[in-house]
Protein backbone atom coordinates (compact mmCIF):
# COMPACT_ATOMS: atom_id res chain seq x y z
CA UNK A 1 0.00 0.00 0.00
CA UNK A 2 1.34 3.46 -0.90
CA UNK A 3 2.39 5.69 2.00
CA UNK A 4 -0.34 8.24 1.26
CA UNK A 5 -3.02 5.52 1.21
CA UNK A 6 -1.64 4.07 4.44
CA UNK A 7 -1.88 7.49 6.09
CA UNK A 8 -5.52 7.83 5.02
CA UNK A 9 -6.25 4.41 6.46
CA UNK A 10 -4.63 5.48 9.75
CA UNK A 11 -6.74 8.64 9.80
CA UNK A 12 -9.95 6.65 9.42
CA UNK A 13 -8.86 4.20 12.12
CA UNK A 14 -8.13 7.03 14.55
CA UNK A 15 -11.52 8.62 13.90
CA UNK A 16 -13.17 5.24 14.58
CA UNK A 17 -11.39 5.12 17.95
CA UNK A 18 -12.82 8.51 18.85
CA UNK A 19 -16.39 8.37 17.52
CA UNK A 20 -19.15 6.01 16.46
CA UNK A 21 -18.74 4.23 13.13
CA UNK A 22 -21.27 6.50 11.41
CA UNK A 23 -19.74 9.67 12.86
CA UNK A 24 -16.21 8.54 11.97
CA UNK A 25 -17.12 7.80 8.35
CA UNK A 26 -18.86 11.14 7.86
CA UNK A 27 -16.00 12.98 9.55
CA UNK A 28 -13.46 11.12 7.39
CA UNK A 29 -15.20 12.07 4.13
CA UNK A 30 -15.33 15.75 5.06
CA UNK A 31 -11.75 15.73 6.28
CA UNK A 32 -10.48 14.11 3.07
CA UNK A 33 -12.12 16.86 1.03
CA UNK A 34 -10.54 19.56 3.18
CA UNK A 35 -7.11 17.86 3.09
CA UNK A 36 -7.20 17.50 -0.69
CA UNK A 37 -8.10 21.15 -1.17
CA UNK A 38 -5.34 22.22 1.19
CA UNK A 39 -2.71 20.05 -0.47
CA UNK A 40 -3.70 21.42 -3.87
CA UNK A 41 -3.24 24.99 -2.60
CA UNK A 42 0.21 24.13 -1.25
CA UNK A 43 1.20 22.44 -4.51
CA UNK A 44 0.25 25.58 -6.43
CA UNK A 45 2.33 27.75 -4.10
CA UNK A 46 5.34 25.46 -4.32
CA UNK A 47 5.04 25.24 -8.06
CA UNK A 48 5.35 29.00 -8.29
CA UNK A 49 7.78 29.75 -5.50
CA UNK A 50 9.63 26.70 -4.19
CA UNK A 51 11.11 23.33 -5.17
CA UNK A 52 9.54 20.11 -4.00
CA UNK A 53 9.91 19.52 -0.27
CA UNK A 54 12.86 17.35 0.83
CA UNK A 55 12.36 14.03 2.56
CA UNK A 56 11.27 14.16 6.18
CA UNK A 57 14.56 12.66 7.40
CA UNK A 58 16.31 15.88 6.41
CA UNK A 59 13.83 18.21 8.04
CA UNK A 60 16.19 19.38 10.81
CA UNK A 61 19.90 19.97 11.20
CA UNK A 62 22.38 21.87 13.38
CA UNK A 63 21.30 25.00 11.49
CA UNK A 64 17.98 24.96 13.32
CA UNK A 65 17.46 27.42 16.16
CA UNK A 66 14.01 28.72 17.13
CA UNK A 67 13.43 32.27 18.34
CA UNK A 68 10.32 32.63 20.54
CA UNK A 69 8.69 36.06 20.36
CA UNK A 70 5.46 37.97 20.45
CA UNK A 71 4.63 39.92 17.34
CA UNK A 72 5.01 43.14 19.32
CA UNK A 73 7.90 42.27 21.65
CA UNK A 74 9.62 45.12 19.79
CA UNK A 75 7.50 48.07 18.74
CA UNK A 76 7.99 51.52 17.25
CA UNK A 77 6.49 54.27 19.39
CA UNK A 78 5.91 56.27 16.21
CA UNK A 79 3.28 53.80 15.07
CA UNK A 80 5.18 51.34 12.87
CA UNK A 81 3.68 47.91 12.17
CA UNK A 82 5.09 45.60 14.89
CA UNK A 83 5.57 42.54 12.65
CA UNK A 84 7.56 44.69 10.24
CA UNK A 85 9.59 46.14 13.09
CA UNK A 86 10.37 42.60 14.25
CA UNK A 87 11.50 41.57 10.78
CA UNK A 88 13.74 44.63 10.44
CA UNK A 89 15.24 44.11 13.91
CA UNK A 90 16.09 40.48 13.18
CA UNK A 91 17.60 41.44 9.82
CA UNK A 92 19.85 43.98 11.51
CA UNK A 93 20.90 42.13 14.67
CA UNK A 94 20.30 38.39 14.28
CA UNK A 95 20.25 37.50 10.57
CA UNK A 96 20.79 33.79 9.96
CA UNK A 97 21.83 32.96 13.54
CA UNK A 98 18.28 31.59 13.86
CA UNK A 99 16.28 29.49 11.43
CA UNK A 100 12.73 29.61 12.84
CA UNK A 101 10.56 32.28 14.40
CA UNK A 102 7.91 31.10 16.82
CA UNK A 103 5.30 33.82 16.59
CA UNK A 104 3.33 33.58 19.79
CA UNK A 105 -0.43 33.96 19.17
CA UNK A 106 -0.86 36.84 16.76
CA UNK A 107 -4.63 36.58 16.42
CA UNK A 108 -7.33 38.86 17.82
CA UNK A 109 -7.70 37.97 21.51
CA UNK A 110 -9.40 39.04 24.73
CA UNK A 111 -6.88 38.02 27.44
CA UNK A 112 -3.76 36.03 28.36
CA UNK A 113 -1.58 37.90 25.84
CA UNK A 114 -3.06 36.07 22.87
CA UNK A 115 -3.97 32.64 24.26
CA UNK A 116 -7.66 33.55 24.50
CA UNK A 117 -8.33 33.60 20.75
CA UNK A 118 -11.31 35.46 19.34
CA UNK A 119 -10.68 34.60 15.67
CA UNK A 120 -8.25 31.86 14.62
CA UNK A 121 -8.08 32.97 11.00
CA UNK A 122 -7.21 36.65 11.36
CA UNK A 123 -4.05 38.53 12.28
CA UNK A 124 -4.51 41.01 15.10
CA UNK A 125 -4.62 44.34 13.20
CA UNK A 126 -2.54 45.90 15.98
CA UNK A 127 0.33 43.63 14.85
CA UNK A 128 -0.05 43.68 11.06
CA UNK A 129 -1.67 41.34 8.56
CA UNK A 130 -1.07 38.06 6.73
CA UNK A 131 1.20 39.82 4.24
CA UNK A 132 3.47 40.80 7.14
CA UNK A 133 3.55 37.19 8.32
CA UNK A 134 4.41 36.11 4.76
CA UNK A 135 7.20 38.72 4.61
CA UNK A 136 8.76 37.27 7.75
CA UNK A 137 8.39 33.80 6.24
CA UNK A 138 10.57 34.85 3.31
CA UNK A 139 13.53 34.91 5.71
CA UNK A 140 12.65 32.36 8.39
CA UNK A 141 10.66 29.21 8.88
CA UNK A 142 7.64 29.79 11.10
CA UNK A 143 6.06 28.18 14.14
CA UNK A 144 2.40 28.96 14.87
CA UNK A 145 0.47 28.43 18.07
CA UNK A 146 -2.50 26.12 17.60
CA UNK A 147 -4.63 27.05 20.62
CA UNK A 148 -6.99 24.13 20.30
CA UNK A 149 -8.10 23.49 23.88
CA UNK A 150 -10.18 26.64 24.32
CA UNK A 151 -11.48 29.83 22.72
CA UNK A 152 -12.21 33.30 23.99
CA UNK A 153 -15.49 34.00 25.70
CA UNK A 154 -15.74 36.88 23.19
CA UNK A 155 -15.40 34.64 20.12
CA UNK A 156 -18.27 34.31 17.66
CA UNK A 157 -18.31 30.58 18.40
CA UNK A 158 -19.16 31.18 22.06
CA UNK A 159 -21.57 33.98 21.17
CA UNK A 160 -23.47 31.54 18.97
CA UNK A 161 -23.38 28.96 21.77
CA UNK A 162 -25.09 31.43 24.08
CA UNK A 163 -27.65 32.19 21.35
CA UNK A 164 -28.27 28.45 20.78
CA UNK A 165 -27.14 28.68 17.14
CA UNK A 166 -26.15 25.37 15.53
CA UNK A 167 -23.58 23.87 15.33
CA UNK A 168 -21.93 26.01 18.02
CA UNK A 169 -24.62 25.23 20.58
CA UNK A 170 -22.83 21.89 21.01
CA UNK A 171 -19.24 23.14 20.83
CA UNK A 172 -18.71 23.55 24.57
CA UNK A 173 -19.01 21.37 27.67
CA UNK A 174 -21.97 22.05 29.94
CA UNK A 175 -21.74 20.67 33.49
CA UNK A 176 -24.15 20.82 36.41
CA UNK A 177 -22.38 23.04 38.97
CA UNK A 178 -23.19 20.48 41.69
CA UNK A 179 -21.06 17.86 39.89
CA UNK A 180 -18.00 16.60 41.74
CA UNK A 181 -15.04 17.67 39.58
CA UNK A 182 -12.36 17.19 42.24
CA UNK A 183 -10.57 14.48 40.25
CA UNK A 184 -9.78 16.88 37.40
CA UNK A 185 -6.10 17.87 37.30
CA UNK A 186 -5.79 21.65 37.42
CA UNK A 187 -3.01 23.90 36.11
CA UNK A 188 -4.62 26.89 37.85
CA UNK A 189 -6.34 27.70 41.14
CA UNK A 190 -9.38 29.27 39.45
CA UNK A 191 -12.80 27.52 39.34
CA UNK A 192 -13.12 24.80 36.71
CA UNK A 193 -16.76 25.59 35.95
CA UNK A 194 -17.72 29.16 35.05
CA UNK A 195 -21.15 30.69 34.35
CA UNK A 196 -22.39 31.61 30.89
CA UNK A 197 -25.56 33.65 30.51
CA UNK A 198 -27.40 32.22 27.51
CA UNK A 199 -30.81 32.66 25.87
CA UNK A 200 -31.87 29.60 27.85
CA UNK A 201 -30.66 31.00 31.15
CA UNK A 202 -27.45 30.54 33.11
CA UNK A 203 -25.33 27.55 32.22
CA UNK A 204 -22.03 26.35 33.62
CA UNK A 205 -19.24 25.51 31.18
CA UNK A 206 -15.83 23.89 31.49
CA UNK A 207 -12.90 26.37 31.61
CA UNK A 208 -9.56 24.80 32.45
CA UNK A 209 -7.49 27.99 32.45
CA UNK A 210 -9.70 31.01 33.12
CA UNK A 211 -13.26 32.28 32.94
CA UNK A 212 -12.35 33.94 29.64
CA UNK A 213 -10.97 30.73 28.05
CA UNK A 214 -13.82 28.30 27.41
CA UNK A 215 -12.85 24.72 26.60
CA UNK A 216 -14.00 23.12 23.37
CA UNK A 217 -15.87 19.82 23.31
CA UNK A 218 -13.81 17.45 21.16
CA UNK A 219 -16.20 14.62 21.89
CA UNK A 220 -18.28 16.36 19.21
CA UNK A 221 -16.74 15.47 15.80
CA UNK A 222 -17.91 18.81 14.40
CA UNK A 223 -15.48 20.51 16.79
CA UNK A 224 -12.62 18.34 15.59
CA UNK A 225 -13.42 19.10 11.95
CA UNK A 226 -13.63 22.84 12.63
CA UNK A 227 -10.27 22.84 14.40
CA UNK A 228 -8.65 20.74 11.67
CA UNK A 229 -9.79 23.37 9.19
CA UNK A 230 -7.86 25.87 11.30
CA UNK A 231 -4.82 23.59 11.27
CA UNK A 232 -4.90 23.28 7.48
CA UNK A 233 -5.20 27.04 7.13
CA UNK A 234 -2.08 27.53 9.27
CA UNK A 235 -0.12 25.12 7.13
CA UNK A 236 -1.24 26.97 4.03
CA UNK A 237 0.03 30.21 5.61
CA UNK A 238 3.51 28.74 6.08
CA UNK A 239 3.57 27.08 9.51
CA UNK A 240 6.39 24.52 9.42
CA UNK A 241 5.98 23.78 13.14
CA UNK A 242 2.55 23.70 14.76
CA UNK A 243 2.62 24.05 18.56
CA UNK A 244 -0.29 22.28 20.24
CA UNK A 245 -0.98 24.58 23.17
CA UNK A 246 -2.21 22.99 26.42
CA UNK A 247 -2.99 19.82 24.50
CA UNK A 248 -2.79 17.51 27.55
CA UNK A 249 -6.19 18.80 28.72
CA UNK A 250 -7.91 18.37 25.34
CA UNK A 251 -10.34 15.52 26.04
CA UNK A 252 -12.55 15.54 29.13
CA UNK A 253 -14.34 12.70 30.88
CA UNK A 254 -16.00 13.35 34.24
CA UNK A 255 -14.74 11.02 36.94
CA UNK A 256 -11.21 11.03 35.51
CA UNK A 257 -8.25 13.45 35.86
CA UNK A 258 -9.07 14.63 32.29
CA UNK A 259 -5.39 14.96 31.43
CA UNK A 260 -3.42 12.73 29.05
CA UNK A 261 -6.50 10.67 28.25
CA UNK A 262 -6.11 8.05 25.48
CA UNK A 263 -8.42 10.10 23.26
CA UNK A 264 -6.09 13.09 23.61
CA UNK A 265 -3.14 11.03 22.41
CA UNK A 266 -5.27 9.76 19.54
CA UNK A 267 -6.10 13.31 18.46
CA UNK A 268 -2.40 14.26 18.50
CA UNK A 269 -1.61 11.24 16.33
CA UNK A 270 -4.45 12.20 14.01
CA UNK A 271 -3.07 15.73 13.68
CA UNK A 272 0.33 14.29 12.78
CA UNK A 273 -1.25 12.04 10.14
CA UNK A 274 -3.21 14.93 8.63
CA UNK A 275 -0.08 17.07 8.44
CA UNK A 276 1.94 14.19 6.98
CA UNK A 277 -0.57 13.77 4.17
CA UNK A 278 -0.90 17.48 3.38
CA UNK A 279 2.61 18.79 4.10
CA UNK A 280 5.10 16.00 4.91
CA UNK A 281 7.77 18.29 6.37
CA UNK A 282 5.51 20.11 8.82
CA UNK A 283 6.17 19.19 12.45
CA UNK A 284 3.93 18.68 15.47
CA UNK A 285 5.17 20.12 18.80
CA UNK A 286 3.25 19.33 21.99
CA UNK A 287 3.18 21.78 24.91
CA UNK A 288 2.66 19.73 28.09
CA UNK A 289 4.10 21.38 31.19
CA UNK A 290 3.96 18.24 33.35
CA UNK A 291 6.37 15.76 35.00
CA UNK A 292 8.99 14.39 32.64
CA UNK A 293 7.61 10.91 31.98
CA UNK A 294 4.15 12.31 31.27
CA UNK A 295 5.71 14.88 28.94
CA UNK A 296 7.68 12.40 26.82
CA UNK A 297 4.64 10.13 26.53
CA UNK A 298 3.61 12.45 23.68
CA UNK A 299 6.29 10.89 21.49
CA UNK A 300 3.99 7.87 21.48
CA UNK A 301 5.73 5.05 19.65
CA UNK A 302 7.35 7.55 17.33
CA UNK A 303 3.92 8.12 15.78
CA UNK A 304 2.73 11.10 17.80
CA UNK A 305 4.55 14.43 18.32
CA UNK A 306 7.69 15.03 16.28
CA UNK A 307 8.91 17.37 19.02
CA UNK A 308 8.24 17.75 22.74
CA UNK A 309 9.45 20.57 24.92
CA UNK A 310 12.29 19.65 27.27
CA UNK A 311 10.38 21.09 30.23
CA UNK A 312 12.64 19.72 32.96
CA UNK A 313 15.69 21.49 31.55
CA UNK A 314 14.84 25.07 32.55
CA UNK A 315 14.29 24.53 36.30
CA UNK A 316 17.23 22.11 36.55
CA UNK A 317 19.66 24.51 34.84
CA UNK A 318 18.39 27.39 36.98
CA UNK A 319 18.81 25.31 40.13
CA UNK A 320 22.32 24.11 39.16
CA UNK A 321 23.64 27.62 38.56
CA UNK A 322 21.81 29.14 41.53
CA UNK A 323 23.23 26.51 43.87
CA UNK A 324 26.56 26.02 42.09
CA UNK A 325 25.77 22.31 42.17
CA UNK A 326 24.94 20.24 39.10
CA UNK A 327 24.26 16.88 40.74
CA UNK A 328 20.53 16.87 39.96
CA UNK A 329 20.98 18.22 36.44
CA UNK A 330 23.63 15.58 35.75
CA UNK A 331 21.57 12.73 37.20
CA UNK A 332 18.54 13.69 35.09
CA UNK A 333 20.57 14.14 31.91
CA UNK A 334 22.36 10.80 32.37
CA UNK A 335 18.99 9.03 32.60
CA UNK A 336 17.45 10.94 29.70
CA UNK A 337 16.38 8.52 27.00
CA UNK A 338 17.09 9.33 23.37
CA UNK A 339 13.91 10.29 21.49
CA UNK A 340 12.38 7.76 19.08
CA UNK A 341 13.62 7.88 15.45
CA UNK A 342 12.07 10.82 13.62
CA UNK A 343 11.39 12.63 16.92
CA UNK A 344 13.34 15.09 19.03
CA UNK A 345 13.40 17.45 21.97
CA UNK A 346 12.89 21.20 21.78
CA UNK A 347 15.36 22.50 24.37
CA UNK A 348 14.65 25.82 26.07
CA UNK A 349 15.41 27.63 29.31
CA UNK A 350 12.88 30.47 29.04
CA UNK A 351 9.67 31.27 27.24
CA UNK A 352 6.65 33.56 27.49
CA UNK A 353 5.44 31.39 30.37
CA UNK A 354 7.10 30.86 33.72
CA UNK A 355 9.67 28.25 34.69
CA UNK A 356 7.57 25.15 35.34
CA UNK A 357 7.98 23.27 38.62
CA UNK A 358 5.87 20.22 37.85
CA UNK A 359 8.58 18.97 35.45
CA UNK A 360 11.02 18.58 38.37
CA UNK A 361 8.66 16.55 40.53
CA UNK A 362 10.73 13.55 41.53
CA UNK A 363 13.90 15.13 40.13
CA UNK A 364 14.52 17.81 42.78
CA UNK A 365 13.82 17.24 46.48
CA UNK A 366 11.03 19.38 47.90
CA UNK A 367 13.50 21.30 50.07
CA UNK A 368 15.50 22.26 46.97
CA UNK A 369 12.37 23.47 45.17
CA UNK A 370 11.36 25.53 48.20
CA UNK A 371 14.84 27.05 48.43
CA UNK A 372 14.82 27.86 44.71
CA UNK A 373 11.43 29.57 45.01
CA UNK A 374 12.67 31.61 47.97
CA UNK A 375 15.78 32.59 46.01
CA UNK A 376 13.75 33.73 43.02
CA UNK A 377 11.52 35.79 45.34
CA UNK A 378 14.65 37.60 46.49
CA UNK A 379 15.45 38.40 42.88
CA UNK A 380 12.06 39.92 42.19
CA UNK A 381 10.20 36.85 40.98
CA UNK A 382 6.82 35.35 41.83
CA UNK A 383 5.36 31.87 42.04
CA UNK A 384 2.04 30.80 40.51
CA UNK A 385 0.00 28.10 42.23
CA UNK A 386 -2.26 25.31 41.05
CA UNK A 387 -5.13 23.51 42.76
CA UNK A 388 -4.72 19.85 43.73
CA UNK A 389 -7.54 17.29 43.89
CA UNK A 390 -7.62 17.46 47.71
CA UNK A 391 -8.25 21.21 47.58
CA UNK A 392 -4.73 22.21 48.57
CA UNK A 393 -2.43 24.33 46.42
CA UNK A 394 1.09 23.67 45.20
CA UNK A 395 3.66 25.68 43.22
CA UNK A 396 3.12 25.49 39.47
CA UNK A 397 5.71 27.85 38.00
CA UNK A 398 8.20 30.58 38.86
CA UNK A 399 7.52 33.87 37.10
CA UNK A 400 10.73 35.80 36.53
CA UNK A 401 12.89 37.12 33.71
CA UNK A 402 15.61 34.51 33.19
CA UNK A 403 18.33 37.15 33.07
CA UNK A 404 17.17 38.55 36.40
CA UNK A 405 17.04 35.02 37.81
CA UNK A 406 20.83 34.81 37.43
CA UNK A 407 21.53 38.10 39.23
CA UNK A 408 22.93 36.28 42.27
CA UNK A 409 23.42 32.83 43.78
CA UNK A 410 22.27 31.07 46.92
CA UNK A 411 25.33 32.17 48.89
CA UNK A 412 23.62 35.32 50.17
CA UNK A 413 26.25 37.73 48.90
CA UNK A 414 23.86 39.75 46.75
CA UNK A 415 24.35 40.67 43.09
CA UNK A 416 27.83 39.93 41.77
CA UNK A 417 29.96 40.55 38.67
CA UNK A 418 29.11 37.16 37.14
CA UNK A 419 25.50 37.70 36.01
CA UNK A 420 26.27 37.86 32.28
CA UNK A 421 28.67 34.90 32.41
CA UNK A 422 26.28 32.85 34.55
CA UNK A 423 23.47 33.57 32.11
CA UNK A 424 25.57 32.75 29.03
CA UNK A 425 26.58 29.48 30.69
CA UNK A 426 22.89 28.58 31.06
CA UNK A 427 22.27 29.22 27.37
CA UNK A 428 25.30 27.22 26.28
CA UNK A 429 24.11 24.23 28.31
CA UNK A 430 20.84 24.37 26.39
CA UNK A 431 22.65 24.82 23.06
CA UNK A 432 24.87 21.78 23.74
CA UNK A 433 22.21 19.19 24.43
CA UNK A 434 20.72 16.79 21.91
CA UNK A 435 17.68 18.35 20.27
CA UNK A 436 16.66 21.63 18.67
CA UNK A 437 17.35 24.77 20.75
CA UNK A 438 14.82 27.54 21.26
CA UNK A 439 15.65 30.97 22.69
CA UNK A 440 13.14 33.45 24.02
CA UNK A 441 13.68 36.91 22.59
CA UNK A 442 14.08 38.30 26.12
CA UNK A 443 16.94 35.88 26.72
CA UNK A 444 18.62 37.09 23.54
CA UNK A 445 18.20 40.68 24.75
CA UNK A 446 19.02 40.14 28.47
CA UNK A 447 15.70 41.67 29.48
CA UNK A 448 15.24 42.19 33.22
CA UNK A 449 12.07 41.81 35.29
CA UNK A 450 9.21 43.97 34.03
CA UNK A 451 7.66 44.93 37.36
CA UNK A 452 5.76 47.77 35.71
CA UNK A 453 4.10 45.23 33.45
CA UNK A 454 2.99 43.20 36.45
CA UNK A 455 1.52 46.29 38.10
CA UNK A 456 -0.21 47.33 34.89
CA UNK A 457 -1.83 43.97 34.11
CA UNK A 458 -2.12 42.43 37.56
CA UNK A 459 -0.64 39.19 36.15
CA UNK A 460 2.67 37.77 37.36
CA UNK A 461 3.50 36.30 33.95
CA UNK A 462 3.83 39.85 32.63
CA UNK A 463 7.19 40.04 34.43
CA UNK A 464 8.71 38.16 31.50
CA UNK A 465 6.72 39.69 28.63
CA UNK A 466 8.21 43.16 28.28
CA UNK A 467 7.50 45.09 25.11
CA UNK A 468 10.61 46.97 24.02
CA UNK A 469 10.29 50.41 22.46
CA UNK A 470 12.62 50.02 19.52
CA UNK A 471 14.48 53.37 19.87
CA UNK A 472 15.19 52.68 23.55
CA UNK A 473 16.32 49.11 22.83
CA UNK A 474 18.57 50.26 20.00
CA UNK A 475 20.16 52.82 22.33
CA UNK A 476 20.95 50.07 24.85
CA UNK A 477 22.41 47.82 22.18
CA UNK A 478 24.57 50.67 20.91
CA UNK A 479 26.26 50.80 24.33
CA UNK A 480 29.00 48.21 23.96
CA UNK A 481 29.23 47.44 27.67
CA UNK A 482 25.53 47.20 28.44
CA UNK A 483 24.40 43.70 29.49
CA UNK A 484 21.95 43.74 26.59
CA UNK A 485 24.68 44.37 24.02
CA UNK A 486 27.06 41.87 25.61
CA UNK A 487 24.53 39.05 25.71
CA UNK A 488 23.17 39.64 22.20
CA UNK A 489 26.65 39.82 20.68
CA UNK A 490 27.91 36.70 22.45
CA UNK A 491 24.85 34.59 21.74
CA UNK A 492 24.64 35.52 18.06
CA UNK A 493 28.34 34.72 17.64
CA UNK A 494 27.91 31.35 19.36
CA UNK A 495 24.83 30.48 17.30
CA UNK A 496 26.63 31.19 14.05
CA UNK A 497 29.63 29.15 15.18
CA UNK A 498 27.50 26.26 16.37
CA UNK A 499 25.87 25.81 12.95
CA UNK A 500 29.13 24.62 11.42
CA UNK A 501 29.45 21.42 13.43
CA UNK A 502 27.78 18.10 12.89
CA UNK A 503 28.26 17.44 16.62
CA UNK A 504 25.31 19.78 17.23
CA UNK A 505 22.95 18.05 14.81
CA UNK A 506 19.74 17.32 16.75
CA UNK A 507 20.12 13.59 16.09
CA UNK A 508 23.80 13.32 17.09
CA UNK A 509 24.13 11.17 20.19
CA UNK A 510 25.06 12.49 23.61
CA UNK A 511 26.77 10.95 26.61
CA UNK A 512 26.62 12.84 29.91
CA UNK A 513 29.61 12.64 32.27
CA UNK A 514 29.78 13.07 36.02
CA UNK A 515 32.77 15.27 36.84
CA UNK A 516 31.44 16.23 40.26
CA UNK A 517 28.87 18.78 41.42
CA UNK A 518 30.88 21.82 40.24
CA UNK A 519 30.54 20.75 36.59
CA UNK A 520 28.12 19.71 33.93
CA UNK A 521 29.75 17.84 31.06
CA UNK A 522 28.77 15.80 28.03
CA UNK A 523 30.02 14.33 24.79
CA UNK A 524 28.26 14.88 21.48
CA UNK A 525 28.95 12.39 18.70
CA UNK A 526 31.28 10.11 20.65
CA UNK A 527 31.76 6.93 18.65
CA UNK A 528 29.64 8.38 15.86
CA UNK A 529 31.64 11.29 14.42
CA UNK A 530 35.27 11.67 13.42
CA UNK A 531 35.32 14.90 15.41
CA UNK A 532 33.25 14.44 18.59
CA UNK A 533 32.75 17.38 20.92
CA UNK A 534 33.36 17.49 24.66
CA UNK A 535 31.39 20.23 26.43
CA UNK A 536 32.39 21.18 29.98
CA UNK A 537 30.63 23.83 32.11
CA UNK A 538 31.84 25.36 35.36
CA UNK A 539 28.64 25.89 37.35
CA UNK A 540 30.28 27.87 40.15
CA UNK A 541 31.63 31.34 40.87
CA UNK A 542 35.05 29.87 41.72
CA UNK A 543 37.92 28.62 39.58
CA UNK A 544 37.65 24.86 39.07
CA UNK A 545 39.94 22.24 37.54
CA UNK A 546 39.06 18.98 35.80
CA UNK A 547 41.12 16.10 34.44
CA UNK A 548 40.95 16.22 30.64
CA UNK A 549 43.30 13.26 30.27
CA UNK A 550 41.07 11.08 32.44
CA UNK A 551 37.99 12.09 30.43
CA UNK A 552 39.67 11.04 27.20
CA UNK A 553 41.02 7.78 28.60
CA UNK A 554 37.60 6.85 29.97
CA UNK A 555 35.76 7.64 26.74
CA UNK A 556 35.72 5.04 24.00
CA UNK A 557 35.22 5.94 20.35
CA UNK A 558 37.83 8.70 19.94
CA UNK A 559 39.76 7.98 16.76
CA UNK A 560 41.69 11.24 16.47
CA UNK A 561 45.46 10.99 16.90
CA UNK A 562 45.65 14.70 17.67
CA UNK A 563 47.59 15.71 20.75
CA UNK A 564 45.67 18.98 20.98
CA UNK A 565 42.10 19.81 21.85
CA UNK A 566 40.75 23.22 20.89
CA UNK A 567 37.98 25.22 22.52
CA UNK A 568 35.67 26.34 19.73
CA UNK A 569 34.57 29.33 21.80
CA UNK A 570 37.94 31.06 22.15
CA UNK A 571 40.40 28.88 20.13
CA UNK A 572 42.53 28.12 23.18
CA UNK A 573 44.30 24.77 22.90
CA UNK A 574 44.70 22.09 25.57
CA UNK A 575 47.05 19.11 25.64
CA UNK A 576 45.27 15.76 25.71
CA UNK A 577 47.46 14.68 28.66
CA UNK A 578 46.48 17.70 30.76
CA UNK A 579 45.26 16.47 34.13
CA UNK A 580 44.36 19.89 35.52
CA UNK A 581 42.50 22.10 33.05
CA UNK A 582 41.39 25.22 34.89
CA UNK A 583 38.07 26.90 34.18
CA UNK A 584 37.19 30.42 35.30
CA UNK A 585 33.81 30.99 36.97
CA UNK A 586 31.02 29.93 34.60
CA UNK A 587 33.51 29.27 31.79
CA UNK A 588 32.43 26.86 29.07
CA UNK A 589 34.60 24.64 26.91
CA UNK A 590 33.49 23.20 23.59
CA UNK A 591 36.49 20.96 22.91
CA UNK A 592 37.28 19.23 19.64
CA UNK A 593 40.40 17.35 18.61
CA UNK A 594 42.60 19.26 16.19
CA UNK A 595 45.22 21.93 15.68
CA UNK A 596 44.23 25.57 15.38
CA UNK A 597 44.63 26.77 11.81
CA UNK A 598 44.92 30.54 11.49
CA UNK A 599 43.73 30.43 7.90
CA UNK A 600 40.86 28.01 8.45
CA UNK A 601 39.81 28.34 12.09
CA UNK A 602 38.78 25.10 13.70
CA UNK A 603 35.16 26.13 14.12
CA UNK A 604 34.89 26.43 10.34
CA UNK A 605 36.58 23.10 9.60
CA UNK A 606 34.87 20.23 11.38
CA UNK A 607 31.57 19.87 9.58
CA UNK A 608 31.46 16.10 9.19
Q: Which residues are annotated as a binding site?
A: 112, 150, 243-245, 352-353, 461
Distance from C-alpha of 127 to C-alpha of 124, rounded to nearest angstrom: 6
Burial category of 14 from C-beta neighbours within 10 Å (exposed 0-12, middle 13-18, buried 19 and up): buried
Binding-site residues from annotation for substrate? 112, 150, 243-245, 352-353, 461
* 534, 550 contact by CB (below 8 A): no
Upper half-sphere CA count for residue 267 (Cβ side, 13 Å):
28
Distance from C-alpha of 25 to C-alpha of 28, rounded to nearest angstrom: 5
Catalytic residue (one of 64, 72, 245, 325): 245
Residue-by-residue DSSP string for 274-299? HHHHH-TT-EEEE---S-HHHHHGGG
* 448, 484 contact by CB (below 8 A): no
Burial category of 129 from C-beta neighbours within 10 Å (exposed 0-12, middle 13-18, buried 19 and up): middle
Distance from C-alpha of 146 to C-alpha of 233, rounded to nearest angstrom: 11
Q: What are phi and psi of 167, to 5 degrees?
A: -85, 0
Nearest to 488 by CA among 499, 474, 501, 502: 474
Distance from C-alpha of 100 to C-alpha of 63, rounded to nearest angstrom: 10
* 510, 523 contact by CB (below 8 A): yes
Query: Beta strand pairing status for 564-567 and 519-524?
Result: unpaired
In this structure, how many other beta carbons lie within 10 angstroms of the beta carbon of residue 563? 12
The answer to whether residue 245 is catalytic is: yes
Nearest to 254 by CA among 219, 226, 288: 219
Q: At how many degrees (to 10) do helices 419-432 and 313-323 cross?
A: 140
Catalytic residues: 245
Amino acid sequence: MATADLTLTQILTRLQRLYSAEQAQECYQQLCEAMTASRDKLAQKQGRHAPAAPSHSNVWSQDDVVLITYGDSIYDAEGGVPLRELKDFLAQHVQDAISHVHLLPFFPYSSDDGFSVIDYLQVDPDLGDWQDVAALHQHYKLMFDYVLNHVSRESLWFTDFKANVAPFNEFFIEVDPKTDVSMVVRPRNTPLLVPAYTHAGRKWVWATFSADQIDLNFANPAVLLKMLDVLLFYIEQGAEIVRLDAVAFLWKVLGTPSIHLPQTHEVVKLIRDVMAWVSPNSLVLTETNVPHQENVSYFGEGDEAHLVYQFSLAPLVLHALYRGDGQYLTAWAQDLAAPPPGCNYLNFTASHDGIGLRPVEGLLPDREIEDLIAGMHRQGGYVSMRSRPDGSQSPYEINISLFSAFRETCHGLGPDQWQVDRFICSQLIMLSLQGIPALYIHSLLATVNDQEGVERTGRTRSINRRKWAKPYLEALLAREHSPNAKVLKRLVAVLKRRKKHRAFHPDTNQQVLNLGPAFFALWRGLGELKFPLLAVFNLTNDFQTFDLAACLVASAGIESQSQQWVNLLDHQTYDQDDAAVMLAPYQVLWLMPGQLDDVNPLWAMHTD
